[in-house]
């Protein structure tokens, strides 16, 4: 087993804990490759681990370990997706729907990872294309969570035409529009009133942000459908944000197309926690009734 290491070095704890973990790998003769940023910032040349640009890490290892929060996982998924390498998130952040284990658990799970005692969960992802028509796309983005069109700094709502394939769906009068995966259904879409989907589903969620009419509700469509969006604003520029990290200014002349990516993101599961357990923990579900009524088990 050769590990690829990707880390969010802006989190103050990461530069303190990562060298210790790499020392443990070295002590146990476990191979690893680092991003160039990690090797340069932490001065780890004495360990002898090779380093590469982050875009190459997925092609040079058997599993990528990310040290950070869900944002680090989202960036890593984008950087290594073409390689098909599985990712394991080590949670240094706060909420952590995507990150699988803590740093302490990583040390105890190391033998399981090396011996193959883990499972792989495929998560569908999205591609967003932006251009001036169906045959003139100029920008392409990858999203594990969501593609968000927002009015930006302008105070007034915008008009958003939405098509499913070539069929007109609706014109939303809203602050924006979210198109997300089942994985992304626990993020911005949930805050905007969208439904929760289990991550093994194959579907796309269309969620308006603060719609003017209460009749304009979120919609779930099959993952094979292509979503096309054209927005109109009294001012020229709106904002397209992909996974909250890639941002592009959008004008009235732009067409946005969102569809399922060819390759899923492969996540390592080794904690034993199910999606429902994660929901109960992160959203504090069922604690009051469980204390009052007890458990079925």
Cα Rg of the chain (Å, integer): 21
Residues 221 and 116 both lie in one domain: no
Q: Give the pLDDT confidence score for residue 43 in this predicted structure.
A: 86
Residues 130 and 256 in one domain: yes
User: Are the C-beta atoms of residues 20 and 44 closer than 8 Å to each other?
Assistant: no
Is 296 part of a structural domain of the chain? no
pLDDT of 274 reads: 83
Examine the domain organization and report whether 138 and 155 are in the same domain. Answer: yes
Is residue 188 a contact partner of residue 155, using CB atoms and an 8 Å limit? no
- Is residue 97 within 8 Å of 15, Cβ to Cβ? no
Domain shared by 255 and 280, yes or no: no
- pLDDT for residue 143 is more than 70: yes
- Residues 76-83 have a mean pLDDT of 95
Is 7 part of any domain?
Answer: yes
Confidence (pLDDT) at 47 = 87
Does the structure show a pLDDT above 60 at 293? no
Residue 295 located in a structural domain: no
In this structure, the answer to whether residues 219 and 156 fall within a common structural domain is yes
Q: Examine the pLDDT at 289 and tell me if it is beyond 60.
A: no
Mean pLDDT of the residues in the chain: 91
Query: Does residue 291 register a pLDDT over 60?
Result: no
**Any idea which residues carry the catalytic annotation?**
70
Task: Classify residue 30 by its DSSP letter.
Answer: -
Asked if the model's pLDDT at residue 154 lies above 80, the reply is no
CATH code, 91: 3.40.50.10330
Q: 48 and 16 share a domain? A: yes
Shared-domain flag, residues 135 and 106: no
- d(Cα 142, Cα 80) in Å, to the nearest integer? 11
Count of H helices and E strands in the chain?
8, 19
Grade residue 90 by pLDDT with cuts at 50, 70 and 90: very high
Question: Residue 290 pLDDT more than 80?
Answer: no
Claim to verify: residue 169 and residue 232 sit in the same structural domain:
yes
Sheet holding 126-131, edge to edge: 137-143, 126-131, 255-260, 227-232, 158-164, 167-174
Helix segments in the chain, DSSP class H: 14-27, 36-42, 54-57, 70-80, 103-114, 188-191, 275-283, 287-293
Alpha carbon separation from 28 to 2, 47, 115 (Å, rounded): 12, 12, 14
**What is the share, in percent, of the chain residues with pLDDT greater than 90?**
72
Place 244 in a pLDDT band, splitting at 50, 70 and 90: very high
Amino acid 295: pLDDT = 60
Residue 88 covered by a domain = yes
> Is 294 part of any domain?
no
pLDDT surpassing 80 at residue 111: yes
Mean pLDDT of 245-262: 93
The answer to the question of residue 90 being in a domain is yes
Whether residue 201 has pLDDT greater than 70: yes
Q: Which domain holds residue 46?
A: 2-123+264-289
Q: Residue 230: which CATH number? A: 2.60.200.30
Looking at residue 287, its pLDDT comes to 62
The pLDDT of residue 273: 79
pLDDT, tens digit, 9 for 90 and up, residues 166-196: 999 999 999 999 999 999 999 999 999 999 9
Other beta carbons within 10 angstroms of residue 224's beta carbon come to 11
Band of pLDDT at residue 19, cut at 50, 70 and 90: very high
Lowest average pLDDT, out of 54-68, 111-125, 212-226, 268-282, goes to: 268-282
Question: In the predicted model, what is the mean pLDDT of residues 108-122?
Answer: 93
Q: For the chain, what is the domain count?
A: 2
- Give φ, ψ of 125 to 5 degrees: -125, 175
Do 163 and 96 have their domain in common? no
Q: Are residues 77 and 23 in the same domain?
A: yes
State how far Cα 170 lies from the chain centre: 27
Residue 233 confidence (pLDDT) above 90: no
Note the pTM of the prediction, 2 decimals: 0.90
């Amino acid at each position: 087993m050769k590990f690829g290491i990707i880390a969010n070095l802006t989190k103050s704890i990461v530069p303190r804990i990562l060298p210790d973990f790499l020392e443990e790998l070295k002590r146990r003769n476990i191979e690893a490759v680092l991003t160039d940023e990690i090797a340069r910032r932490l001065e780890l040349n004495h360990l002898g681990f090779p380093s590469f640009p982050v875009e190459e890490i997925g092609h040079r290892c058997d599993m990528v370990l990310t040290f950070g929060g869900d944002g680090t996982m989202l960036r890593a998924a984008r950087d290594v997706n073409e390689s098909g390498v599985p990712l394991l998130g080590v949670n240094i952040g706060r909420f952590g729907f995507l990150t699988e284990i803590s740093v302490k658990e990583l040390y105890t799970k190391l033998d399981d990872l090396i011996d193959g005692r883990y499972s792989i969960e495929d998560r569908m992802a999205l591609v967003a294309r932006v251009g001036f028509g169906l045959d003139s796309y100029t920008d392409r983005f990858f999203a594990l969570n969501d593609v968000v069109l927002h009015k930006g700094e302008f105070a007034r709502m915008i008009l958003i035409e939405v098509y499913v394939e070539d069929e007109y769906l609706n014109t939303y009068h809203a602050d924006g529009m979210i198109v997300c995966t089942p994985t992304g259904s626990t993020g911005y879409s949930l805050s905007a009133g969208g439904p929760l989907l289990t991550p093994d589903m194959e579907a796309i969620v269309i969620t308006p942000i603060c719609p003017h009419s209460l009749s304009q509700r979120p919609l779930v469509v099959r993952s094979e459908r292509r979503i096309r969006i054209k927005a109109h604003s009294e001012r020229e520029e709106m904002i397209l944000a992909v996974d909250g990290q890639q941002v592009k200014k959008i004008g009235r002349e732009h067409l946005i197309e969102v569809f399922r990516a060819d390759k899923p993101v492969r996540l390592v599961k080794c904690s034993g926690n199910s999606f429902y357990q994660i929901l109960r923990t992160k959203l504090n579900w069922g604690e009051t009734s469980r204390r009052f009524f007890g458990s079925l088990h």
